[in-house]
Amino acid sequence: MDVKIEPSWKAALQEEFDKPYFADATAYVKNEIASGHTVYPPGKLIFNAFEKTPFDKVKVVILGQDPYHGLGQAQGLCFSVPHGVKAPPSLVNIFKEIETDLGIAPPNHGNLERWAEQGVFLLNAILTVRANTPASHSGIGWQTFTDAVIRKVSDEKTGVVFLLWGNFARAKRELINTEKHFVLEAAHPSPLARGAFSGCKHFSKTNALLQKQGLEPIDWTL
């Protein structure tokens, strides 16, 4: 299948695009739209994480579950919302942790593109969702694809820092070669975790791991 995606990712993932499950997943999404359902994010943003962070630029991976399902929220980057959209509670807690950890004041928006452009791959395990119906596309094949993406990063790169927040993300640890990558685990930043994310210091720890390898740290300022 000819998929419109950033060239370095296209080269890395072409064998996945040619597998039946991928055709099934994309057909499912097209059928949802044809049936009158609204699907988020918009089609041009489904692979936005890949566009913003080319394969050769990936230094950090943050793994989310599925896109925000409210109007105007999803932009194909996990935890991120476009300018002008109120930051959801999980993102607010991420910003609070950055302030505690690094002294960076929370921004007045929730757009994380600046992180992505520095090499923070903001990947949702499920790439689409039906409007107002969380996890509605969880069984259509996207996780087979994104598991393959994680394995590809693990197999072909070294020294990547994986941030796994919450049980869903932590279950992906088995896809990562921890002999040559770094895995930091914490509770999910959702308020439902009752503050368990607070104090993880993943942002300073990530930068320390990058600098130890002689890499430029992430400027978490937005």
- Annotated active-site positions, please? 66
- Please name the residue that has the structure tokens 């089609």: 43
Name the phi and psi angles at 115, rounded to 5. Answer: -65, -45
Q: Which of 80, 118, 123, 121 shows the shortest CA–CA distance to 217?
A: 118
Q: Which two tokens stand for residue 166?
A: 């919450």
Q: Which helix (H) or strand (E) holds 102?
A: helix 89-102
Q: Which two tokens stand for residue 21?
A: 């499950």
Whole-angstrom distance, CA of residue 67 vs CA of residue 77: 8
Helices (H), 5-74: 7-17, 20-34, 48-52
